[in-house]
Amino acid sequence: MGIILNKAELLESNSKLRGDALEILEAGLEAVNTEKILKNKIILNEGVLGVDGENFNLKSFERIFFVGIGKCALEGARVLEDILGDYLTEGAVIDVHEIADAKVLASRGKIRYFQGTHPYPSEQNIEATKQILEMVQNLTEKDLVVTLISGGGSALFDLPDEAATAKLGLPGETSLETVIRVTKELTAKGADIYELNAVRKKMSQVKGGKFAEICHPAPMVSLIFSDVLGNDISVIASGPTILDTPTEEVKNILLASNHDALVAMKIKAEEFGYKTSIETEKLSGNASEMGKELALRESQSKTCILFGGETTVRVPQNHGIGGRNQEMALSALLYISLDSVLICASSDGWDNTDCAGAIADAELFQKTKAMGISPEQFLMHGDSYNFFKQIGGAIYTGKLGSNVSDLYIMLYK
């Protein structure tokens, strides 16, 4: 079975253009599979851990701890526990996957799993964070901390700073309630990840390099999967291991980004005979506006244009259910040409709902006419999820163990 779970349903019309676009998307998602990336870039040989060209002698440490944070953490923990083997002392992971998914975390049983919430923190996230901090207390220079940091970590790994949140709090609010409210308000206004995480850092005891400070004086190796435009590692998961003044022994290594997915997608599209280009890895802007802009582009025969990035959504009052990729596809649907198809999808399989994103093409638009459904009304009410649920075109993958921002495919006959 492929990564896209409802591919057969999406291809009931036998549209070759749709089929090619879905195959191209699957190639990208497969390329950023956490397990594959870690096995390709990390090796342990005679006690020396090789990480993407960097070497660390594990024999020189008395204890080695692993901390996984974000949507790639569970998949990564499975691989790293096998690689580290008997060198690993203890570990802890906080991820969004169900507890049942962690049953096969490892045969050695050295890593504890905590299921957290996203996109907002919760008491269970805070409790998991406290457990992780308890594990790494009283470290010395003879200890090593290996971390895997990925998107989603800002919500999952958090311990509010009471003094900082008090300055932003409303009467009667707890620190957690302040963090959630402020995050929701910024998101509703269309704040991008840089703006959002700048505020999150100020309200937290572990973000913005503070986790690295807690682990000091132990050296740290941080393996980072980027879901941030431009791959600024200080923004990914709000940079818990990124110090403003890197005087401590912390090695941050970027292992994966949407570049890996886009290159794989380009190769697949060229195999299908499309003239292909990666236009940008940093697409941004309002989801509705970007969907319209892409759909109105002049058609180019047998061409594939690829984008990576992350848009934002301005949430209307009395809004419905949706995600930025579904909204972008819904907006594009109003303008899409007969000879093109657009796919907008999240690399983690979860576009603020249980679908990864959606397709926009003329076939789908004609279906709305036949069913008497108004895309404009759903778009106006921020209800893209229920639109695609009625009309079809949503892409389902389930929650994936990867997260490198969103992927966009513009394909022309």
Instruction: Output the CA torsion sign for 127, 130, 132, 135.
Output: negative
Among candidate residues 250, 245, 305, the one with its CA nearest the CA of residue 275: 305
34-256 is classed CATH 3.10.110.10: no
Amino acid 251: pLDDT = 95
- 33-68 CB burial, b ≥16 within 10 A, e <16: bbebbbeeebebeeeebebeeeebebeebeebbbbb
Domain ranges for the chain, please list them.
Answer: 7-31+259-412, 34-256
Gyration radius from the chain CA atoms: 22
Amino acid 104: pLDDT = 55
Global confidence as pTM: 0.91
Amino acid 315: pLDDT = 86
Amino acid 100: pLDDT = 74
User: For the domain 7-31+259-412, what is the CATH code?
Assistant: 3.40.1480.10
Report, as ranges of residue numbers, the positions in the chain whose pLDDT lies below 70. Answer: 1, 103-108, 246-247
Distance between CA 413 and CA 405 in Å, rounded? 27
Assigned token pair, 247 = 């005087």
Distance between CA 230 and CA 122 in Å, rounded? 29
Q: What confidence tens digit (pLDDT) does each residue in 132-172 have?
A: 999 999 999 999 999 999 999 999 999 999 999 999 999 99
Same fold, 7-31+259-412 and 34-256: no
278 burial (CB, 10 Å; 0-12 / 13-18 / 19+) is middle
Residue 411 has φ and ψ, to the nearest 5°, of -120, 135
Amino acid 401: pLDDT = 86
| β-pair partners for 411 | 304, 341
Give the DSSP H/E element, type plus range, for residue 375. helix 375-380
Amino acid 106: pLDDT = 53
